[in-house]
Chains A and B, each alone.
Chain A
Amino acid sequence: MNKPYGSPYVSVEGIARRFPGLTVFSDVWFGIERGEFVCLVGHSGCGKTTILNILAGLDSPSDGGVVMEGREISGPALDRAVVFQGHALMPWLTAEQNVAFALACRNPAWGKARLREEARAVLAKVGLEHAADRKPAMLSGGMKQRVGIARALAVQPKMMLMDEPFSALDALTRGSLQEEVSRLATEAGQTAFMITHDVDEAILLADRILLMTNGPNARIAEVLVNTLPRPRIRATLHHQPGYHALRDHIMDFLVTRSRTLAGAAPEGYDPRDPPIVRLAE
């Protein structure tokens, strides 16, 4: 799966984030294949958000770089859409206008009527056509994040970047949104990169899960391949064979190994090719 020496769709090559006297992470290498859903799991402070921001082009690494389709990422662009943690909707615009804003950036030639129509179509995809005329203040947390997802989808990005998009939501809302994202990503073959704390979320959505050790000097300890077949249904996921092994592995990592593995890399660790873990089914 991970082909460090090949040329994946998106290739993260040796990026680092250093402050004077502090290295948050360094020598981080991984690839994302076209249509693949990759989750990054790790504790706060290991630089997850920085990695996502570097992929988005909102931040630049102290070292290394990111190559997408053979071109280095040098700044934010429409081919990479971000779903922000705090939805980041503009409160003076209605749901429809928020989506239309993104559409207008993508398609400057479109007229008002066209933008309206297309914005409503995208909102319908996330089940929000009935709330198109409401401002964010009149939407629930889950609905706001749906609009945030609709806005990201509207520009038809090559890659979706999601920074713990559901962490501020209650469990029920989170569940239905996860399913929605799973459906949308699978249907469209959407390439996606997502940061999460939520183990079940990672198992439901990801093809591969990158496990990061605690910072400082964080690194990708291993790459866990999610072998559970798609389509995955949230309600029945935990009955699928292999689910508990995956879950236990990630939990063990988060609870103990992220800490014990932190610091210096073990003998034989190649940052360009971190160990790939494929649990027996």
Chain B
Amino acid sequence: MARPVPAWKAALLSLAILALFLGGWELALTAGPGAGGPAIDPEYAALLGQAAQQGGRTPMPAPSQIAVRLWELLRDPFYVRGPNDQGIGIQVAWSLGRVLLGFFIAALVAIPLGFAIGMSPLLNAALNPFIQVLRPVSPLAWMPLALFTIQDSSISAIFVIFICSIWPMLLNTAFGVANVRREWLNVARTLEAGTWRTAFRVILPAAAPTILTGMRISIGIAWLVIVAAEMLVGGTGIGYWVWNQWNNLSLADIVIAILMIGLVGLALDRLLGLIQGWVSWQE
């Protein structure tokens, strides 16, 4: 049944769905632009001033308006006009920097520790209760504690990324290492390969695909969490930018931010997938 589908067919259908969605969206907004609008409290209208003429509510932007705005933003993504007005490229770069930093520190801790846990049933049993309790904790729950102890909002955000990305890498590394095929270990033993050679030449390559799966899950979670963390921490980053645009009621910018977050997340996942392809093996 599952015959391979030509790529162009799938792409064509994707484009058609996108066109239908955007077209419907555009049409829905032009057909009834706040027709009539609800009655507005005069005092509220006085407060809003000019905005009252729009019917008292911010209209949902149409795709065409979003596209124009997207072009504006992308034409100069790296401008800096004061702390509260920086290009979208800069904001994404801030978020990406935090995610990558937190992620790499987590990898530096999780992979060696996972290796040790995978090799030692004792360590596994001893650390398992801690891991099981800490793993389900929402990374944002750490935020107040991090802010209090670290006293630096930017480092706190990195810490939250660290704490949320450590678990999948730790567990996957431990699992991959503990489940290296017995016969390969026996080969290493009969060849008197020694601890280091066995660890780096047998166990590491054997567990590498599992470890990379853990890293891929981690970076996905880290990218999810950074948006929320930056909304809390403020200052810079795409999460903060989204919150700022919400306060400005620029809905077009929010839609654009969603698009950017999705595209960057996709790129991160693909990158890890690429590395996973390099280290994976088949029998």
Residues of A within 8 A of B (CB): 56-58, 75-78, 80-82, 84, 86, 88, 90-93, 101-102, 104-106, 135-137, 151, 155
Contact status of A82 and B283, CB under 8 A, knowing A76-B192, A101-B191, A105-B197 = no
Per the bound structure, the CA–CA distance linking A31 and B202 in Å amounts to 34
Q: Which A-chain residue is minimally distant from B186 (CB atoms)?
A: A58
Candidates A78, A84, A90, A137; contact of B282 at CB < 8 Å: A137
What are the 9 closest A-B residue pairs judged by CB atoms, nearest first? A92-B281, A88-B183, A105-B191, A76-B189, A76-B190, A91-B281, A92-B205, A91-B283, A137-B282
The answer to whether B206 touches A92 (Cβ under 8 A) is yes
Question: Which residues on the B side are within 8 Å of A88 (C-beta)?
Answer: 181, 183-184, 186-187
Candidates A82, A92, A93; contact of B190 at CB < 8 Å: A82
Residues of B within 8 A of A (CB): 181, 183-184, 186-187, 189-194, 197, 201-202, 205-206, 208, 279, 281-283
B184 CB to nearest chain A CB (Å): 6
Besides A57-B189, A91-B283, A105-B192, 10 new A-B residue pairs in contact (Cβ under 8 A), listed by A number: A58-B186, A58-B190, A76-B192, A78-B190, A90-B202, A90-B205, A92-B281, A101-B193, A104-B197, A137-B281
Question: Which residues on the A side are within 8 Å of B206 (C-beta)?
Answer: 90, 92
B75 CB to nearest chain A CB (Å): 47
Question: Which residues on the B side are within 8 Å of A93 (C-beta)?
Answer: 205
Question: Which residues on the A side are within 8 Å of B186 (C-beta)?
Answer: 58, 76, 82, 84, 88
Question: Which residues on the A side are within 8 Å of B197 (C-beta)?
Answer: 104-105
Per the bound structure, the CA–CA distance linking A151 and B283 in Å amounts to 18
Per the bound structure, the CA–CA distance linking A155 and B191 in Å amounts to 8
Interface SS of chain B:
helix
Per the bound structure, the CA–CA distance linking A105 and B184 in Å amounts to 14
Per the bound structure, the CA–CA distance linking A78 and B197 in Å amounts to 15
Question: Which residues on the A side are within 8 Å of B202 (C-beta)?
Answer: 90
Question: Which residues on the A side are within 8 Å of B183 (C-beta)?
Answer: 84, 86, 88
Per the bound structure, the CA–CA distance linking A104 and B208 in Å amounts to 22
The answer to whether B190 touches A135 (Cβ under 8 A) is no
B74 CB to nearest chain A CB (Å): 42
Candidates A77, A92, A135; contact of B192 at CB < 8 Å: A77
The answer to whether A101 touches B201 (Cβ under 8 A) is yes
Question: Which residues on the A side are within 8 Å of B205 (C-beta)?
Answer: 90, 92-93
Per the bound structure, the CA–CA distance linking A158 and B211 in Å amounts to 38
The answer to whether B187 touches A84 (Cβ under 8 A) is yes
Per the bound structure, the CA–CA distance linking A90 and B114 in Å amounts to 22
Per the bound structure, the CA–CA distance linking A78 and B189 in Å amounts to 9
Question: Which residues on the B side are within 8 Å of A104 (C-beta)?
Answer: 197
Question: Which residues on the A side are within 8 Å of B192 (C-beta)?
Answer: 76-78, 105
Question: Which residues on the B side are within 8 Å of A137 (C-beta)?
Answer: 281-283
Per the bound structure, the CA–CA distance linking A57 and B191 in Å amounts to 11
Per the bound structure, the CA–CA distance linking A151 and B191 in Å amounts to 10
The answer to whether A105 touches B281 (Cβ under 8 A) is no
B10 CB to nearest chain A CB (Å): 29
Question: Which residues on the A side are within 8 Å of B201 (C-beta)?
Answer: 101
A76 CB to nearest chain B CB (Å): 4
Question: Which residues on the B side are within 8 Å of A106 (C-beta)?
Answer: 191
Per the bound structure, the CA–CA distance linking A106 and B186 in Å amounts to 16
Q: Which A-chain residue is minimally distant from B193 (CB atoms)?
A: A105
